[in-house]
């Protein structure tokens, strides 16, 4: 006799996408704790016989195998950043706009809800679809469910187009900028500040580093028809030993956001050249993703959705598909500025609109 765990939350995929968003948000799934929501998703798809379902850790891959000549990956992460008294969710109305408020509503369970509902309902889509709902997006890249799948099941990434449900205010945001972090260090020699001439002030030596940053003119680069604005900024600075000591070290962390037309080597070279004469330690680098919106499937998608694409500035997992040569866009409900915010909330109309957009394209044959 099978053991039935009556405490398992049940997801009702026949509900509206809005209601399903609420069901998903009310199952807490902070990164590392996605087992329950992954179980619930598995169970909810038990009757969707048009889907082949693979579980890998707490990632779930569900795909049609209809022999279509094109395949699209549609993906979303099921984890959230930590909850801060903002679960369970609730409906709210602000200035006449109806919202669902709470952790995960924007980032990104509304997107997942739309995907999950369509996965269950669209038994005969115009293209084969690989749905991916994955874990650990909000933490170290090493833990990310897509990183794991890319390593263990690269065949899942063989597709003609990919849509990531990251919040994009219901518009289509193509590709994404890359991001590089580096520490620029200046060094000196400690001394008592009453005898400062004995030492060498590392903080004073940071003056030209900051002056260069202040004078930096970022580029705006056209990639496949979208214009990506770059940026190079200090995101932190730290130096000092004690209030009576000449400091021997100053560290400036800089963040370079660069257009997806630049590769890793070019991005790193740009930063090293810019800070020539200073110690530069690159600590983090992820290249961007070209939008690839000139691909036929991408054009079909844009036409069906009726959206004017914009560039995505923040780095997202679309870059992982781009690395496999798959054009990828962000398309999801919710304002990215409210992601991780304690007042995270998604306009209900955007959930409906994204469902309709995706359905219009996928259901038409």
Is residue 79 flagged as an active site residue?
yes
Minimal distance in Å, beta carbon 159 to a copy of itself?
26
Contact call for residue 243 and a copy of itself (CB under 8 A): yes
* Cα separation, 242 vs 191, whole angstroms: 11
∠ CA 120-126-129, rounded to 5°: 50
CB of 290 to a copy of itself, least distance (A): 17
Indicate the residue among 123 and 241 with the shorter CB distance to a copy of itself. Answer: 241
Q: Considering 58, 107, 128, 137, which one is annotated as catalytic?
A: 137
Q: Whole-angstrom Cα distance, residue 13 to residue 118?
A: 9
Would you give the binding string for a copy of itself spanning residues 104-133, x where CB under 8 A is met? Answer: ------------------------------
- Tell me whether the omega of the peptide bond preceding residue 270 falls within 30 degrees of 0, making it cis: no
Q: Does residue 210 belong to the site contacting a copy of itself (CB under 8 A)? A: yes
Task: Return d(Cα 158, Cα 72) in angstroms, integer.
Answer: 9
- Smallest separation, CB 205 to a copy of itself (Å): 7
Least gap, CB of 244 to a copy of itself (angstroms): 7
Q: Which of these segments, 34-42, 142-150, 186-194, 299-307, binds a copy of itself (CB under 8 A)? A: 186-194
**Of these, 115, 130, 168, 201, which contacts a copy of itself (CB under 8 A)?**
201
User: What binding mask, one character per residue, do residues 11-30 give for a copy of itself by CB under 8 A, x or -?
Assistant: --------------------
278 binds a copy of itself (CB under 8 A): no
Residues 148-177 that bind a copy of itself (CB under 8 A): 177
CB-based contacts of 142: which residues, under 8 Å, 6+ apart?
A: none
Stretch that binds a copy of itself, among 35-43, 155-163, 310-318, 321-329 (CB under 8 A): 310-318
137 noted as active-site residue: yes
In the complex, the smallest distance separating the C-beta of residue 111 from a copy of itself, rounded to whole angstroms, is: 19
Catalytic residue among 34, 79, 107, 344: 79
| Residues 309/302, Cβ–Cβ less than 8 Å | yes
Q: Got the DSSP string for 73-137?
A: EEEEE--BSPPSS--S-EEEEETTEEEEESTTIIIIIHHHHHHHHHHHH-SS-SSEEEEEEES--
Q: Is 192 in the site for a copy of itself (CB under 8 A)?
A: yes
Residue 325 DSSP symbol: T
Q: How far apart are CA 5 and CA 101, in angstroms?
A: 29
Least Å distance, CB 203 to a copy of itself, is 4
- Reading the block at residue 135, the tokens are 């874990």
Q: Residues near 188 by Cβ (< 8 Å), separated by ≥ 6?
A: 199, 200, 201, 202, 203, 204, 205, 246, 247, 248, 249
**Number of residues located near a copy of itself, criterion CB under 8 A:** 47
Is position 236 an interface residue for a copy of itself (rule: CB under 8 A)? yes
Using the contact rule CB under 8 A, the part of the chain among 73-81, 125-133, 237-245, 290-298 near a copy of itself is 237-245
Binding a copy of itself by CB under 8 A: which of 54, 150, 213, 323? 213
Judged by phi (left if over 0) then psi (alpha if -120 to 50, else beta), residue 242 lies in beta
Is residue 265 within the footprint of a copy of itself (CB under 8 A)?
no
- Smallest Cα–Cα separation from 130: which of 242, 210, 52, 196? 52
Three-state secondary structure call for residue 251: strand
Rg (CA), the chain: 23
Question: Taking the mean position of all CA atoms in its chain, how far away is CA 11?
Answer: 25
Q: Contact with a copy of itself (CB under 8 A): which of 238, 306, 343, 364?
A: 238
By CB under 8 A, name the binding residues for a copy of itself.
Answer: 177, 179, 181, 192-197, 201, 203-208, 210-211, 213-214, 218, 229, 231, 233-247, 250, 252-253, 255, 257, 313-315, 337
Residues designated catalytic: 79, 137
């Amino acid at each position: 006799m099978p053991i039935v765990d009556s405490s398992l939350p049940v997801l009702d995929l026949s509900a509206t996408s809005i209601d399903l968003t609420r069901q998903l948000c009310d199952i807490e799934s902070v990164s590392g704790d996605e087992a329950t929501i992954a179980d619930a998703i598995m169970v909810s798809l038990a009757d969707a016989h048009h889907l082949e379902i693979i579980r890998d850790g707490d990632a779930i891959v569900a795909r049609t195998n209809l022999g279509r000549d094109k395949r699209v990956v549609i993906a979303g992460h099921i984890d959230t950043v930590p909850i801060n008294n903002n679960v369970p969710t609730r409906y709210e109305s602000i200035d006449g706009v109806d919202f669902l408020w709470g952790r995960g509503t924007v980032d990104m369970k509304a997107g997942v809800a739309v995907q999950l509902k369509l996965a269950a309902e669209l038994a005969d889509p115009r293209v084969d679809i690989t749905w991916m709902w994955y874990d650990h997006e909000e933490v170290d890249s090493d833990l990310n469910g897509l990183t794991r799948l890319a390593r263990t099941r690269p065949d899942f990434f063989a597709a003609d187009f990919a849509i990531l449900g990251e919040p994009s205010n219901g518009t289509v945001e193509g590709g994404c900028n890359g991001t590089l972090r580096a520490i620029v260090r200046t060094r000196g020699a400690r001394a008592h500040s009453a005898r400062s001439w004995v030492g060498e002030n590392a903080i004073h030596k940071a003056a030209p580093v900051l002056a260069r940053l202040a004078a930096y003119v970022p580029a705006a680069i056209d990639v496949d028809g979208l214009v990506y604005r770059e940026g190079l900024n200090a995101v932190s600075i730290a130096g000092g030993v004690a209030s009576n000591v000449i400091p021997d070290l100053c560290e400036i962390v800089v963040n370079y956001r660069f257009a997806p037309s630049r590769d890793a080597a070019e991005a790193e070279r740009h930063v090293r050249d810019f800070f020539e004469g200073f110690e530069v330690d690159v600590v983090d680098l992820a290249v961007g993703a070209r939008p690839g919106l000139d691909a036929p499937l991408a054009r079909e998608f844009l036409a069906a959705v009726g959206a004017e694409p914009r560039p995505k500035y923040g780095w997202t997992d679309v870059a992982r598909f781009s690395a496999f040569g798959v054009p990828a866009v962000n398309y999801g409900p919710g304002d990215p500025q409210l992601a991780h915010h304690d007042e995270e909330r998604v306009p209900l109309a955007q959930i409906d609109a994204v469902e309709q957009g995706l359905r219009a394209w996928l259901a038409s044959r």
